[in-house]
Amino acid sequence: MTEQVSAHKDPVVIAFANEVLDGFSDVCRSLRYATFLTDDGFEVASIAGDEKQNRRVASMASSMQALGDAVAKDLRIGGAEYIIIAAETGYVIQMRVPEHAMVLAAHFDAAETVGKALSVVRLAASNMRTLVRDKAA
């Protein structure tokens, strides 16, 4: 068995995450901020934001994700697919990278429609999955 390196310490995964995030900000101008994090709240990679802020967002997003999963589990409606926080001047969408213990959290300004933002987040999460899966293969 190969040694399992956690995502936030794995240079290859970090490089993938940066690659996906770069493409992400290209397709979506209203994106203010985005970060990949491990399920237990360690920052893997981010665009924009200072270091301290990124770490804090990673912890909070991990708590949010887990609370979302806990609510969905309690209501027996399956796993939480994504979480949206709508605020006055923008919103945050977060989504698990399918099949991985990793989450993408992204902050958009209010100019974007939720539908568009959701679809680019889904695309970025799915791109991340493909990269990590192909690496494992």
For binding to another protein (CB under 8 A), which residues are involved? 6-9, 38-42, 55-56, 58-60, 62-67, 69-70, 74, 101
Joined together, the tokens standing for residue 15 give: 């490089």
66 or 123: CB nearest another protein: 66
Minimum separation from the CB atom of position 47 to another protein (A): 20
Could you tell me the strand order of the sheet in which 102-109 lies?
Answer: 43-47, 31-38, 102-109, 90-96, 82-87
CA distance 128 to 24: 11
Minimum separation from the CB atom of position 59 to another protein (A): 4
Minimum separation from the CB atom of position 81 to another protein (A): 17
65 or 94: CB nearest another protein: 65
